[in-house]
Amino acid sequence: MAGALLTGTAGWLFVVFAGLALAAAIAVVVAKNPVHSALYLLLSFVLVACIFILQQAEFVGAVQMLVYAGGIMVLFLFVVMLVNPRTVRTDKTFQHQWDLALLLFPGRTTGLVWLSWAFSGVFVVMYLLAKLRQKLAKRDRLAAVPQTVEG
């Protein structure tokens, strides 16, 4: 049964929907007009819902359509229309600053890696302390049980 999901018509439809969803996701990033970008995102959401339905996850597909394609995209389009992207300045923000970015990138990356390592250690210590506290509480509960003397 290996590879049974990509056989027959369902397999071809999956490949078509996945390719179109990937193309729509790339178009979201590449589109210069924010309204077009939002519409490509809506298309991507609908295609992902079609893939869910094709894989017999109808509930997840329906939730994808209602929550993402219905609610969030309407909200996003409303914000884009409200901001009116034509009034936003279009001058270049980063003018020939690649040399400075390449100079600062290793230091920033090293700092972020160190922070993530440090915080992961903090969470491990917090987890171990919580386990120790549970064991101590269990021991105290057992010690508090009165011993009966039989005689």
Q: What is the pLDDT of residue 1?
A: 45
User: How far from each other are the two terminal CA atoms of the chain, in whole angstroms?
Assistant: 69
The percentage of residues in the chain with a pLDDT greater than 90, rounded to a whole number, is 21
DSSP 11-58: HHHHHHHHHHHHHHHHHHHH-SSHHHHHHHHHHHHHHHHHHHHHTT-H
Q: What is the pLDDT of residue 145?
A: 65
Q: pLDDT per residue over 48-57, tens digit each?
A: 999 999 888 8
Return the CATH number of the domain spanning residue range 7-85.
1.20.120.1200
For the whole prediction, is pTM greater than 0.85? Answer: no
The chain-wide mean pLDDT, for the chain, equals: 80
Tokens representing residue 64 in the block = 């994808």
Half-sphere exposure of 46 (CA within 13 A, CB side): 10
pLDDT at 70 exceeding the cut of 90:
no
Cα–Cα dist 83/36, whole Å: 15
